[in-house]
Amino acid sequence: MVVRGLNLTGFRNYKTLSAKFSPSCNWIIGSNGQGKTNLVEAIHYLCNLESFRTRKTTILLNTGSCATRLVGEVERNSVLHKIDITVNEKGRRVLLDHKVLQRTSEYMLSFASLAFAPEGVSLFRNQPQERRRFFNRTLSLLDSTHLADLQSYKEVLGQKNILLKKQQREAEIKPWNELLARYGVSITKKRQKFVAQVNETLSSVFQELTGREDALELQYEPALRSWDKGEGSVLHEIESSLERERQYGHALVGPHRDDYRMQLGERRDREFFSQGEYRITYLSLKLCINSVLIKKTGNHPVIILDDLFSELDQRVVNHTISTLEKMENQVFITSTTLPQGGAVHGEKIQIIQGRIVE
Ligand SMILES: Nc1ncnc2c1ncn2[C@@H]1O[C@H](COP(=O)(O)OP(=O)(O)OP(=O)(O)O)[C@@H](O)[C@H]1O
Ligand SMILES: [Mg+2]
């Protein structure tokens, strides 16, 4: 997938902007506070219908404007699509090739960008729900049935929680537990498989970027201990926590309580990772997700690297650049300066006060 061009009206600090991009590497260069992140945020919004730094869409509107418009030309499988998004205080309207888009999920499976941004670097420091949200979204890009399973699971969980709050009898809750066991096994298996796919290359990507020898592993901590023993065992596991669930008034066992961790050698993330290690392990994870996406879908997501070089040492910076140059994805990198030493490939776009300077 390639974003060929973008027109913005009233987006963040851009009154208007019209830009064309290279299908390979695009360097967005400028001093602090000029609009580099805002530009890649708009590209990410065009690809994913969400920002990587806020869920409040009204913040995207240029101060004083009542709406913002993003119009992009996006190429996918050699076909050029026109995407026209308007966001105002009431909501959002998306036109894909001049037709109103009804379902966000269809769009998500068609267009995608992967962002590496300072906000995401805290993923393994944040609450588990942030990680579940991140991995749910990533897995849904790979498998549309996963999204459907998640939605069904959530609905059933809601029903069960209502019954638990009303202190209903076990017989009333049983059919919901059976459904939770079915969807729970399916969701857990997919998460397990995905994590195994990521781990096939995670260590080697990390070692290539850093020159270090430690093994890097993404660890999946499923809440269902018996997930690999079949639905019967899982149902038994869920049912055996009924008393506790009644006390708390909500369901305590199932993939809505899963977690993910990172381990570098013998050291686990929250207790031991340095600032730079959070960044570089997160970057390695993103690059592995990119490989899994390409292998599974044949599509190359747009890669966005915001403020890539802060807190990374020179060796990691050099290796990251050479890794990016080998990739077939379209890449956007924001930085206050071009990296030192040697020419960089691709297009350079200079931003000053919300404008592109030729
Ligand atoms: N909705 C908005 N309306 C107007 N200006 C905004 C809006 N949101 C953010 N800005 C401003 O846009 C400017 C550029 O922000 P941006 O985050 O893109 O900077 P940057 O070039 O990435 O800087 P840095 O190098 O510090 O990361 C900032 O001054 C910010 O306050
Ligand atoms: Mg920035």
Predicted confidence (pLDDT) per residue in 310-334, tens digit: 888 888 888 888 888 889 999 999 9
Distance 98 CA to ligand 2 centre (A): 32
CA distances from 60 to 43, 95, 101, 158 (A): 13, 18, 20, 32
- Cβ-based burial of 2 (10 A; exposed 0-12, middle 13-18, buried ≥19): middle
How many Cα atoms sit within 13 Å of 200 on the Cβ side?
A: 12
- Chain segment 4-22, per-residue pLDDT in tens: 999 999 999 999 999 999 9
At 84 the pLDDT is 97
With a cut of 80, say whether residue 223 has pLDDT above it. yes
Q: Whose CA is nearest to atom 25 of ligand 1?
A: 32
The number of the ligand 1 atom at minimal distance from the alpha carbon of 61 is 1
Residue 139 tokens read as 């897995």
Give the separation between CA 218 and CA 201, rounded to whole angstroms.
11
- Are the CB atoms for 331 and 303 separated by under 8 Å? yes
Domains and CATH numbers, the chain: 1-112+299-358 (3.40.50.300), 124-297 (1.20.1050.90)
d(CA 124, CA 275): 11
| Ligand 1 contact, 337 CB (< 6 A) | no
Map residue 162 onto helix, strand or coil.
helix
Q: Where are the alpha helices (DSSP H) in 298-356?
A: 314-326
Q: Residue 90 C-alpha to ligand 1 middle, in angstroms? A: 23
Q: Please state the rounded mean pLDDT for residues 272-285.
A: 94
Best mutation site among 8, 31, 36, 40 for ligand 1 pocket (most ligand atoms within 8 Å of CB): 36
Question: Is 90 exceeded by the pLDDT of residue 107?
Answer: no
Is the Cβ–Cβ distance between 306 and 117 less than 8 Å?
yes
Average pLDDT of the chain, as a whole number:
93
Asked if the model's pLDDT at residue 169 lies above 90, the reply is: no
Task: Tell whether ligand 1 has an atom less than 6 A from the beta carbon of residue 13.
Answer: yes
Q: Which of 12, 54, 311, 349 to mutate to test the pocket of ligand 1 (most atoms within 8 A of CB)?
A: 12
Residue nearest ligand 1's atom 31 by CA? 33
Q: Does the C-beta of 33 come closer than 6 Å to ligand 1?
A: yes
CA of 34 to the centre of ligand 2 (A): 8
Ligand nearest to the CA of 355: 1
Span from the CA of 11 to the centroid of ligand 2 (angstroms): 15
Q: Which-ligand-closest: CA of 32?
A: 1
The closest residue, in CA terms, to atom 18 on ligand 1 is 35
Give residue 257 CA to ligand 2 midpoint distance, Å. Answer: 33
Interior angle at CA 271, CA 268 and CA 274, nearest 5: 85
Per the structure block, which two tokens stand in for 237? 């596991």
Q: What is the pLDDT of residue 297?
A: 87
At 8, which helix (H) or strand (E)?
strand 2-11
Residue 76 has pLDDT above 80, yes or no: yes
* Strand, coil or helix: 254: coil
Q: Is 336 in the pocket of ligand 1 (CB under 6 A)?
A: yes
Please work out whether the CB of residue 10 comes within 6 Å of at least one atom of ligand 1.
Answer: no
Q: Which ligand is nearest to the CA of 354?
A: 1
Nearest ligand to residue 28 Cα: 1
What's the number of CA atoms in the CB half-sphere (13 Å) around residue 341?
Answer: 7
Helix (H, G, I), strand (E, B) or coil at 39: helix
Residue 39 CA to ligand 1 center (angstroms) comes to: 9
Query: Minimal CA–CA distance to 89: which of 111, 108, 68, 104?
Result: 68
Q: Whole-angstrom Cα distance, residue 313 to residue 308? A: 11
Residue nearest to atom 9 of ligand 1 (CA): 12
Give the range among 178-192, 199-213, 251-265, 301-315 with minimum mean pLDDT. 301-315
Does the C-beta of 335 come closer than 6 Å to ligand 1?
no
Task: Tell me the CA–centroid distance for residue 187 and ligand 2, in Å.
Answer: 36
Tokens of 335: 């930085």
Alpha carbon of 39 to ligand 2 centroid (Å): 9
Is 205 in a helix, a strand, or coil?
A: helix
Distance from the CA of 336 to the center of ligand 2, in angstroms? 9
Is pLDDT at 343 greater than 70 in this prediction? no
- pLDDT for 301 equals 94
For the segment 114-166, what is each residue's pLDDT rounded down to a tens digit?
999 988 899 999 999 999 999 998 998 888 899 899 999 999 999 999 999 99
112 pLDDT band, cuts 50/70/90, is: confident
